[in-house]
Structure 1
């Protein structure tokens, strides 16, 4: 039987943890202060609808961008507003795990992809809860979610599947993934440009992260997070534990007044 849901997973930021290489306002280059890994989710039966959503955004772009994959980083501010506006009322949900990297103790994640794997565990928890919660409203399919990652060059997805299987086999009560909805064998990775769902995930995750990651001038943009709130997963009005999870706890992170607006939006 077909999957009930499909989830496209992308990231915003990078997983570099060298404290000497974080971006400094007014300078080019450097590593991001935040890493977001998140999923946009909709019914499997709506996957062709998502192609239309993305194409409608692309048709509004200047001619030189109309035939290129949608990438938040390639858009100017007005184009970002247009794209987010075109997504924030669609029948989808988003869930994201957002890590503040400078507060992570040195040496905590030394192995390749270790931070990424750790965050994916948190993401899969929330993705599984979302699909479990939505199942009564989505009777078609077998209740499981098809998971598609935006391919990372340094990532071995066979190894990632084995990592998820080890989490399942561990039967650790601290791992709160609702396993009946997760189809480990169907996890795959595709190039960003090959799937419109991945391009939508890029726009949503980058839009959320813009409220926390300082730009060249040291400013953040909470507008997109506010616009995207209607599609962000929550339970009983709780967003910060479900669809907009900050790690470690936001109370331990030294946020600027601008960044604290993210908590005001989702708190």
Structure 2
């Protein structure tokens, strides 16, 4: 028997590291977050109905697609409460971009797409491992659906994944994507507005972004991600470094006490 899963992937923040925001206003985001919303084939068919049920909580909302940043705080809380009760898996990988300038990696990650693809590797290592484990010994297939981003070279992304699959990386990772689970040829790129799964992925990814990226007043809002706690995937009983992953590692991530407490709370 083959079990089928789909991971809808979105991002929050940007890749730029040339003009990082020194404060809460202006400049490029200090964090880039990639997030996955993972569902079984059976539940994949239910996503439009789940999305519509969430939207029904906001009858005055003009747009009938779900976009987290367009919601008010109290609406974002409701969305996360609704998502917390759904049979979905969530995994987020966070890159603290302030750790890149001045290092040997700066020239590499200034190249378009490199940071996104690097963070994607971290995310897929954890998502494919979780799907393989959930299959319980049965054959497992994971389909990836990306939310379309302007200017992204998806062929270059696939080439990078093929490079890893074929074992041609210069630096071998500690973990590995489960290539018996992920078929690169099935990857698709779709428009956010037309796919309920991508809209849910936007919500969970943005929820994580708000927990670490300062708002215009210099504050973080971690309540959204904390509401989703039960949806984050785990490894050996821990959400940290599976459902919630910091890049680079937590002790090298150059974060403040509030950000550290957020990460530590998911151990």
TM-score, structure 1 as length reference: 0.91
For residue 15 of structure 2, give the secondary structure of its aligned residue in structure 1. Answer: coil
Greater mean alpha carbon deviation, residues 234-243 or residues 172-181: 172-181
Query: Distance in 2 between the 1:3 and 1:9 partners?
Result: 20
Query: Does the CA-based 8 Å contact 1:208-1:228 persist in structure 2?
Result: no
Residues 1:265 and 1:60: Cα distance change in structure 2 (over 3 Å): same
For residue 63 of structure 1, give the secondary structure of its aligned residue in structure 2. Answer: coil
Tell me which residue corresponds to 1:37.
Answer: 34
For residue 97 of structure 1, give the secondary structure of its aligned residue in structure 2. Answer: strand
Tell me which residue corresponds to 2:88.
Answer: 92
Tell me which residue corresponds to 1:208.
Answer: 208
Tell me which residue corresponds to 1:194.
Answer: 194
CA RMSD of aligned residues (A): 1.9
Ranges in structure 1 where 5+ consecutive residues have no aligned partner = none
Tell me which residue corresponds to 2:251.
Answer: 251
Query: Distance in 2 between the 1:257 and 1:167 partners?
Result: 35
Greater mean alpha carbon deviation, residues 188-197 or residues 228-237: 228-237
* Matched residues, number: 260
Query: Distance in 1 between the 2:64 and 2:145 partners?
Result: 20
- Aligned to 1:161, which of 158, 171, 182? 158
Tell me which residue corresponds to 1:234.
Answer: 234
Counterparts in 2 of 1:2-81, with a 5 A limit?
A: 4-18=4-18, 20-22=19-21, 24-25=23-24, 27=25, 29-65=26-62, 67-81=63-77
Q: Is 1:224 equivalent to 2:220 in the alignment? A: no
Q: CA deviation at 1:221?
A: 1.1
Query: Does the CA-based 8 Å contact 1:225-1:265 persist in structure 2?
Result: no
Tell me which residue corresponds to 2:145.
Answer: 148
Query: Distance in 1 between the 2:143 and 2:209 partners?
Result: 24
Residues 1:32 and 1:89: Cα distance change in structure 2 (over 3 Å): same
Query: Does the CA-based 8 Å contact 1:35-1:98 persist in structure 2?
Result: yes
For residue 37 of structure 2, give the secondary structure of its aligned residue in structure 1. Answer: strand
Q: CA deviation at 1:169?
A: 1.0
TM-score, structure 2 as length reference: 0.91
Q: CA deviation at 1:23?
A: 5.4
Ranges in structure 2 where 5+ consecutive residues have no aligned partner = none
Query: Does the CA-based 8 Å contact 1:157-1:188 persist in structure 2?
Result: no
Query: Distance in 2 between the 1:41 and 1:206 partners?
Result: 16
Query: Distance in 1 between the 2:3 and 2:196 partners?
Result: 18
